[in-house]
Structure 1
């Protein structure tokens, strides 16, 4: 039983840009991805199906190129200091990502001793292309972040996120740090949150909670 626990998104939160979106923009065939997007916007498929389809158009031989791209993206400032503060306060940190395990774990390796658990999406090669193997998929999410949250016993949940895929997690959390699309959604939903720019902002508020 944890008194407090932190659930943190990876793409666009730990990283300084949306790496998952960046991968799709750089490595999918624009025409093929446009077909998937049209199906998604028409409501014929959900986000999990769109992402699964998009990755299935990327040759597995491009995995190293994907890794090189993600390695080139800077982490959001203050991440290491934030982990130190959370550790000093006895608040475990759980990273929950809809990104590929191969790059999520590599990027987080230098900080792994400061992180309780990391959840991300496994992948495989099928007929020469990338196949996603999500363990916590739901109808609405490729990575069902609230299902991961339910694995833990806690008194207060704190989530940090930035995008559309963090909305359900944020709505379920007791305390939320939000930016970008997530902040816009929570403001409309009248869900209280702390607006943040980097992890130094989070660290400052965390000390006062």
Structure 2
């Protein structure tokens, strides 16, 4: 019996943050603490958390202090990060109840996909920032979902929720970080 859909015959969607929500730790931060100047990374992360820097400004500052490293090397590094065991149950529940799940992240797609593939989780749309290799010896961030009106986030999650939700749909958002609130 499909409990959720039996009650109202409505479409249900679940939007979920990644870093620190699906994973136990913020993988984006850990990359710069491992492969960048640790003291500078900590200071930049603190400025992002206190909203002294916008997400875009913060990411750009973090990439400036990143030591030369390939995306392949970063991918190997992120494979060791754990997801919250509750997330696996949430994915199972969403599939059983036919609730569409969408991941929204101010982090980067390469590590989200790496973690999901490791856990054999497929079919979940991801809206996040991206990395490219430009020949400089270290990856560069790309912000395909930046909204000029949204000054705080590199990936405007609000827009994704609006664009992927209908007026008659029931929407749930799960996230606990500074990029999970719309000022």
Q: Smaller-chain TM-score range? A: 0.7 to 0.9
2:178 to 164, 167, 188: 164
What is the rounded CA distance, in whole Å, between the counterparts of 1:25 and 1:166 in structure 2? 22
Q: 2:153 aligns with which of 137, 141, 146?
A: 141
Say which structure is richer in strand. 1
Distance 1:42 1:144 in 2: 15
CA separation of 1:158 and 1:57: change in aligned 2, threshold 3 A: same
Structure 1 residue 37, shift from structure 2 partner: 6.1
- Structure 1 residue 101 displacement after superposition: 1.5
How far apart, CA to CA, are the structure 1 residues paired with 2:73 and 2:59?
A: 18
Count of aligned positions = 165
SS in 1 for 2:83: coil
Q: Displacement, 1:33? A: 3.6
Correspondence for 2:139 among 130, 142, 153:
130
C-alpha contact (below 8 Å) 2:145/2:156 kept by paired residues: yes
Does structure 2 conserve the Cα–Cα contact (< 8 Å) formed by 1:9 and 1:95? yes
* Contact residue 57 and residue 130 of structure 1 kept, 8 A: no
Q: Matches of residues 16-165 of structure 1 in structure 2 within 5 Å?
A: 16-30=24-38, 32-33=40-41, 36=44, 43=52, 45-109=53-117, 110-113=120-123, 115=124, 117-126=125-134, 127-138=136-147, 139-154=151-166, 155-165=169-179
- Please give the alpha-carbon distance, in whole angstroms, between the structure 1 residues aligned to 2:51 and 2:112: 31
Unaligned 5+ runs, structure 2: 1-9
Unaligned runs of 5+ in 1: 172-209
For the residues of structure 1 that align with 2:14 and 2:115, how far apart are their CA atoms? 19
Alignment partners' CA distance in 2, 1:137 and 1:27: 25
RMSD value over aligned CA atoms?
Answer: 2.6
Q: Which has the higher contact order (CA 8 A, sep 6+)?
A: 2
Question: Aligned-pair distance for 1:165?
Answer: 1.4
Q: Matches of 1:15 and 1:36 in 2, distance apart?
A: 21
Rate the CA distance shift 1:54–1:153 in 2: closer, same or farther, 3 A.
same
Task: Give the TM-score of the pair, scaled to structure 1.
Answer: 0.68
TM-score (norm: length of structure 2): 0.77
1:49 is paired with a residue whose SS is helix
